[in-house]
Amino acid sequence: MNQTTKNVRELTVAYIGGGSRGWAWGFMKDLALDSEICGTVRLYDIDREAAERNRIIGEKISAHPDTASRWAYKVSNSLQEALTGADFVVISILPGTFDEMESDVHLPERLGIWQPVGDTVGAGGFMRAMRTIPMFVTIGEAIRDYAPEAWVINYTNPMSLCVRTLYEVFPEIRAFGCCHEVFGTQKLLCSMLKTEEGIDGVKRQDLYTTVTGINHFTWLTSATWQGRDLFPLYARFVEKYAESGYDEGGDDNWMNSHFNCAQRVKFDLFRRYGVIAAAGDRHLAEFVAPWYTRNPETVRKWKFSLTPVSWRKQDLKERLQMSEDLVSGKKEITLNGSGEEGHLLLKALLGLGDMVSNVNIPNRGQIPNLPLGAVVETNALFGLNRIDPVYAGPVPASILPLITRHVLNQENTLTAALRCDRKLGLTTFLNDPQLSGVTPADGEKLFNEMLENQRAYLPVKWFE
């Protein structure tokens, strides 16, 4: 696509995972609320019925009286049909089902491994990657063959490995991964300015933050507001709330959701390493030794939550019912923005205003002391038909060993998945910090059983 001449009101977006009951609805609403772009969204999903329902919901969103633009929605029968001629590709899929995720998250608990999320690193993240990478090989090959010039936005976890797989399959792909975890830490800094300095009305977009690291283990090495260095204030803020935790919703608000936290892990990491950890506590806790996740009591002490897969299954039932109600008209469409930046980055790539955001892309030197080619999360400047990584500088020495271990594990995870290399897979699995207290024999037994639970999604070579 030559985006210098492309009519921004005749766009084609291929949505892979078009039956999504969460991300897709949010993206549809974001598009409908924006007056500057318009076009067609092709929905492709292995669950065609779900995609058909989203087509109806998309049409209802587009017909809402408060929409700023009208989008057409069509269901595609194949990746080829969805991708051919697409200007943009959005990937938002659930790799497998929640039954497999139940194995990811809960089987390791018998060895004392407690995972708040289980979708990025640790035993659960590794197994999720094993079934996700083959899917992304297929998607990457299809983009190479049918939409090589398209810009590709990934929302699927494990984020780093999904994006890394796309580039391994098709090095010329124009892909990036979006994650909102950094947004929460930026909002925390705004809350800090309000509560500690009485400065109200600061938005996260008003801050300048240098983002470094990898997805869900991101860090801020600088943070300023109107030229003011926020690190000294943050250091005082951390000391004030390190033990009690900080939550705008109240002292115990973190207990009212499986996703909230009181920031105690984030504060503890700052006290240890002098750098602002910039993801939610549930994710951060999984990247280090089990300091914060030794058992459920420890998790509760640090004031965050373990998210049981039973909750996710119940939530899915409720979202399925919501889908039914929206399709039937029992519930009306509520038109509100998602808070995500995907559609804004899409606009920037079309030349509708430059924008800087934190995204996951291969390391081209923006972090000079991490391996080139590894997918890292830093700021990048989006403009007409380009993404320019913003130089983040070297990762501070205090946290470099923590991050490098995971970068190398992720590279080995990709190699093991592509080669169906059981030996490399096992050593990589055992090298995760969360398994530091597990004996090799117990770890291998867990690995074998968890891998068996992925059999339906893995090449048969794994089991020969």
* Domain at 149, CATH number: 3.40.50.720
Pair (391, 452) in one structural domain: yes
CATH code for the domain in which residue 437 is found: 3.90.1820.10
Whether 24 is covered by a domain: the verdict is yes
C-beta separation of 305 from 282 below 8 A:
yes
Pair (103, 60) in one structural domain: no
pLDDT value of position 446: 98
Pair (141, 41) in one structural domain: yes
Closest Cα to residue 245, out of 294, 180, 292, 183?
292
Pair (258, 380) in one structural domain: yes
| Phi, psi of 144, rounded to the nearest 5 degrees | -55, -40
C-beta separation of 362 from 177 below 8 A:
no
pLDDT tens, position by position, 193-226: 999 999 999 999 999 999 999 999 999 999 999 9
Mean pLDDT of 434-447: 97
Closest Cα to residue 438, out of 290, 284, 265?
290
What percent of the chain lies above the pLDDT cut of 90? 93
pLDDT value of position 21: 85
Is residue 2 over pLDDT 50?
no
pLDDT value of position 251: 59
Is residue 103 over pLDDT 90?
yes
- 3-state SS class at 42: strand
Pair (251, 136) in one structural domain: no
pLDDT value of position 248: 74
Query: Judging by DSSP bridges, how do beta strands 276-277 and 207-214 pair with one another?
Result: unpaired
To the nearest 10°, the Cα dihedral for 413, 414, 417, 418?
-150
Pair (303, 154) in one structural domain: no
Whether 234 is covered by a domain: the verdict is yes
C-beta separation of 266 from 277 below 8 A:
yes
Is residue 5 over pLDDT 60?
no
Sequence-ordered list of residues with C-beta below 8 angstroms from that of 190, at least 6 positions apart, any chain: 202, 203, 204, 206, 207
Task: Report, in angstroms and rounded to the nearest whole number, the Rg of the chain calculated over CA atoms.
Answer: 22
Listed in order, strand segments (DSSP E) in 29-162 are 39-44, 71-75, 88-91, 151-154
Q: Which residue has the higher pLDDT, 410 or 1?
A: 410
Sequence-ordered list of residues with C-beta below 8 angstroms from that of 334, at least 6 positions apart, any chain: none
Pair (252, 194) in one structural domain: yes
DSSP conformation class of 204:
G
Please tell me the distance from the alpha carbon of residue 108 to that of residue 276, in angstroms, as a whole number. 30
Between helices 48-63 and 23-32, what is the axis angle to 10°?
30
Query: Judging by beta carbons within 10 Å of its beta carbon (0-12, 13-18, 19+), is residue 139 exposed, middle or buried?
Result: buried
Pair (145, 235) in one structural domain: no
Is residue 250 over pLDDT 90?
no
Q: Which has the minimum average pLDDT: 241-250, 373-382, 420-429? A: 241-250
Q: What is the phi-psi region of residue 150: left when phi exceeds 0, alpha when psi lies from -120 to 50, beta otherwise?
A: beta
Whether 325 is covered by a domain: the verdict is no
pLDDT value of position 319: 93
pLDDT tens, position by position, 125-134: 999 999 999 9
Whether 139 is covered by a domain: the verdict is yes
Q: Which of 158, 179, 200 is the last residue of a domain?
A: 179
Whether 47 is covered by a domain: the verdict is yes
Is residue 180 over pLDDT 90?
yes
Structural domain tally of the chain? 2
C-beta separation of 355 from 382 below 8 A:
yes
Going by pLDDT thresholds of 50, 70 and 90, the confidence category of residue 4 is: very low
Please tell me the distance from the alpha carbon of residue 360 to that of residue 159, in angstroms, as a whole number. 8
pLDDT tens, position by position, 28-42: 999 999 999 999 999
pLDDT tens, position by position, 286-296: 999 999 999 99
pLDDT value of position 7: 72
Q: Which of 164, 179, 194 is the last residue of a domain?
A: 179
Pair (27, 74) in one structural domain: yes
Q: What is the mean pLDDT of the chain?
A: 95
Helix (H) or strand (E) holding 30: helix 23-32
How far, in Å, are 192, 194, 206, 400 from residue 201 at the CA level? 12, 8, 10, 35
pLDDT value of position 143: 98
Is residue 255 over pLDDT 80?
no
DSSP conformation class of 45:
-
Q: Which of 125, 149, 179 is the last residue of a domain?
A: 179
pLDDT value of position 185: 97
pLDDT tens, position by position, 66-82: 999 999 999 999 999 99
Tell me the residue range of the domain where 142 lies. 11-96+116-179
Cα dihedral 217, 379, 366, 144 sign: positive
The 10 Å Cβ neighbour count of residue 329 is 10
Please tell me the distance from the alpha carbon of residue 350 to that of residue 263, in angstroms, as a whole number. 37
Q: What is the token pair recorded at 61?
A: 């969103």
- 3-state SS class at 19: coil
pLDDT value of position 463: 94
The full DSSP string for 302-345 is TT-----HHHHHHHHHHHHHHHHHHHHTSSPPP----S--HHHH
Terminus-to-terminus CA distance in the chain, angstroms?
44
Going by pLDDT thresholds of 50, 70 and 90, the confidence category of residue 298 is: very high
Q: Which residue has the higher pLDDT, 159 or 258?
A: 159
Peptide linkage before 158 cis (omega within 30 of 0): yes
Q: Kindly list the catalytic residues.
A: 180
Please tell me the distance from the alpha carbon of residue 362 to that of residue 256, in angstroms, as a whole number. 37
Is residue 1 over pLDDT 50?
no
- 3-state SS class at 184: helix
pTM recorded for the entire structure: 0.95
Please tell me the distance from the alpha carbon of residue 305 to that of residue 299, in angstroms, as a whole number. 7
Is residue 354 over pLDDT 90?
yes
pLDDT tens, position by position, 155-178: 999 999 999 999 999 999 999 999
Pair (134, 224) in one structural domain: no
Whether 110 is covered by a domain: the verdict is yes
Q: Which residue has the higher pLDDT, 399 or 19?
A: 399
Is residue 106 over pLDDT 60?
yes
Q: Which has the minimum average pLDDT: 5-9, 92-96, 212-216, 306-310? A: 5-9
